[in-house]
Each structure stands twice: as structure tokens, then as C-alpha cells.
Amino acid sequence: MKKVTTIIRFNAGNDNNGNPRRVYVAFAGCDIVGAWDEGYCGYNAVPEKLRELARQATTFSTTAAERKELLAMFDKDGNRISE
């Protein structure tokens, strides 16, 4: 993974069952290099070496579809899935 410079948290609210729909997205410059579903873990969903950046992340509102698209780009460990 490239050197992560920024992490942003996107919030798509909750689903019909009340489950959180939030995702942490890591950037190396302008490139998206990782995404992690927050679930009920908070910033602990992000790998340990990036947690301080995640803890300080600014949160932006997004849609459930955009959140799903971001998560589809990466596996559960935040590694890019080949197309």
C-alpha cells in the first residue's frame, strides 16, 4: 500500500434495522488506497498503523450506494480488488 496521507469517514446513516453504514477511506495523495467498513468497531476497523489518522478523520455524509461502491473496490482487509 502507498503511504496513506489522509483518512476520511463517510456516513450513510443506518439501514432499516438500525445497523450503521459508515466507511473509512484512505488516500495516498489523491488516490484511494483503502476502505474499511466501520461496523460497530469505530476507528478500530482500520489497521492499527492507521488508527490515529482514522481517529482524527473528518466525517462527510454520503449515500448507501456510494458507500457500497467504495467498499466493493477493496476486500475486508482494505486491499484493492483486481478488476
Q: In what order do the strands lie in the sheet with 58-61?
A: 31-37, 20-28, 6-14, 58-61
- Does some domain include residue 51? yes
Torsion of CA 8, 34, 11, 52, to 10 degrees: -50
- Does some domain include residue 47? yes
- Does some domain include residue 1? no
Tell me the per-residue pLDDT of 17-59, one tens digit each, with 9 for 90 and over. 999 999 999 999 999 999 999 999 999 999 999 999 999 999 9
Average pLDDT (58-71) is: 97
Give the count of domains, the chain: 1
- Does some domain include residue 80? no
Average pLDDT (1-17) is: 95
- Does some domain include residue 58? yes
What single-letter DSSP state applies at residue 78? S
- Does some domain include residue 11? yes
- Does some domain include residue 10? yes
pTM of the model as a whole = 0.92
Q: Which domain holds residue 57?
A: 6-72
- Does some domain include residue 83? no
